[in-house]
Amino acid sequence: MLVTQLREDTLDMNRVEVIEASRALESPLYPVLSSFANRRGGGIILFGLQGPKCSASGIYDVDDLQQLVLLQGRQMSPEVHPLCTRTRIDRHDVLCVEIPECPFDKKPCHYLGAGRVHGSYIRLNTDIEPMTEYEIYRYEEASCSLQEDLTAVMRAGFESFHPNVLNQYLRSIRTARPNLQHMLDQEILTMQGLLQDGRPTIGGIMMFGIYPQAYFPHLFISALIYDTGCEGSEICTLVDRKKIEGTIPQMLSDSINLIRTCTRMLADRTVRETTAGPEDVYPSLAIRELLLNALVHRDYSIHTLHRPIEIHIYSDHLIIESPGGMFGRMDIEDLGKRDQRIRNPHLAGAVEVLMHSSNSFCGIPSSRKALKAAGLPEPVFQDIRGRFLVSLYAARMGKEGRSISQTEERLFQYCRTPRSRDEIAREFGYTKAYVISEYINPLVHAGLLQLTLPEVPKSKRQQYVTRAGLPG
């Protein structure tokens, strides 16, 4: 069944590696074993197939190959215990090796001979890549419960706090939590993770600091505004760049205002509908919740202190990019649905008190609800090797139907006939990665493009067709 799916190209190749039997002796299997053990759901290695049609070529000695796989599995940390199954296809021996996922608190699974830093691998679609130092750290951060928002800022003191903002927080928390009413200010701040050994923590400075960027020059928001000439070409012209500094509440407020101003301006240039007066392109609630999510849940470790949050503002879409990626065991599908540990709990607690914002996983559902009410597609979330991206699209649903960009209109017309990823990329002059992330995935997610092989979304033979009833 597995080989049949493989030959028909209806199998998710992200979880399968086909290796000719001779290659198993030529190069070590450690990278494959590590990458599958670190992958959610593990993976499968098939020995004894070759060529694009996966024709059976046979194995010189199945027992010998099986012992080789088991031996190399014992040289991993933690040990990999593969399940080997021998079968015959077209009168040739084929060995199927199932690699189980490593327990999360033991990741990353790595080759002992190379060590944790150089022997850990990750699978990206069908490619195997060495893990970066930061990707390894992310496992340690989650499994060891590291809380970087508790890190004391050595150059800062109590005088680094803005007294008015700090007093507002102390009044609010004493009101919300009566048990703290008789405690001293410093005792409350220490208990809440905003002071550590008498010094402000990163969380404390980012919430109440007079000027946080004096201690962390790169913890700001970089807003990049592009012209309207992006459609039909991959490269957009950057027309302006804004640097937004201050505390988290200040950066949040200034960013919302900037997005509102820039998106109105770009939309007016593109659509030229000014008779009804200016109108917000995106609902303020959605922008607020997604920006606040980026500010609170970004990574504040030493690995990312040099990286600001970026906002990319285009005429027809908006991207918020924050350093850190997903935290712990969480996956994209779990966003807003599962109560799990968060990366910066003390910072989130301070935001909840000072800004009356809940940290109980309601921000993303609220943003989805606001976008739906405004007739906009759902946000698209991506976790790309230490970066977390949220993309919003400005196509509204109205009485006349869905207002679409020129590129989308051309795409719908082109996909009246089912098209592959490569065909779409060539037609529109994009790279395949760009057209998938910026157009195909969002339109599929919104139900406007349909898959010809919905049961195997990542198949190489996947094609996309315009949903019936759409313009084009």
Torsion of CA 264, 267, 272, 277, to 10 degrees: -30
Contact 448, 470 (CB under 8 A): yes
If you average pLDDT over residues 22-46, what whole number do you get? 87
Domain 404-466: state its class: mainly alpha
**Is the pLDDT score of 271 beyond 60?**
no
Nearest Cα residue to 46 out of 84, 96, 89: 96
Reported as a single tens digit per residue, the pLDDT across 161-202 is 999 999 999 999 999 899 998 899 999 999 999 999 999 999
* CATH fold group of domain 2-131: 3.30.950
More confident residue, 423 or 362: 423
pLDDT at 401: 43
How many Cβ atoms are within 10 Å of 306's Cβ, its own excluded?
A: 11
DSSP-derived 3-state class of residue 435: helix
Res. 37 pLDDT band, cuts 50 70 90: very high
pTM confidence score: 0.76
Residue type, 410: R
pLDDT at 365: 87
The conformation of residue 218, written as its DSSP 8-state character, comes to T
If you average pLDDT over residues 205-233, what whole number do you get? 85
Q: How large is the greatest C-alpha to C-alpha distance in the chain, in angstroms?
A: 82
The domain limits of the chain are 2-131, 221-401, 404-466
- Assign domain 221-401 to its CATH architecture: 2-Layer Sandwich (3.30)
Contact 93, 128 (CB under 8 A): no
pLDDT at 229: 42
DSSP-derived 3-state class of residue 275: coil
**Is the pLDDT score of 398 beyond 50?**
no
pLDDT at 22: 66
Tokens linked to 8: 């028909």
Contact 281, 267 (CB under 8 A): yes
More confident residue, 120 or 317: 120
DSSP string, 224-248: EEE-STTTTSSPPPEEEEEEE-SSH
DSSP string, 12-73: -GGGEEEE-TTHHHHS-SHHHHHHHHTSTT-EEEEESEETTTTEE---S-HHHHHHHHHHHH
If you average pLDDT over residues 84-108, what whole number do you get? 90
Phi/psi for 233 (5° steps) reads -145, 150
Average pLDDT, the chain: 84
Tokens linked to 324: 């850190």
Q: How far is CA 168 from CA 14, 88, 288, 308, 376, in A?
A: 51, 73, 21, 27, 37
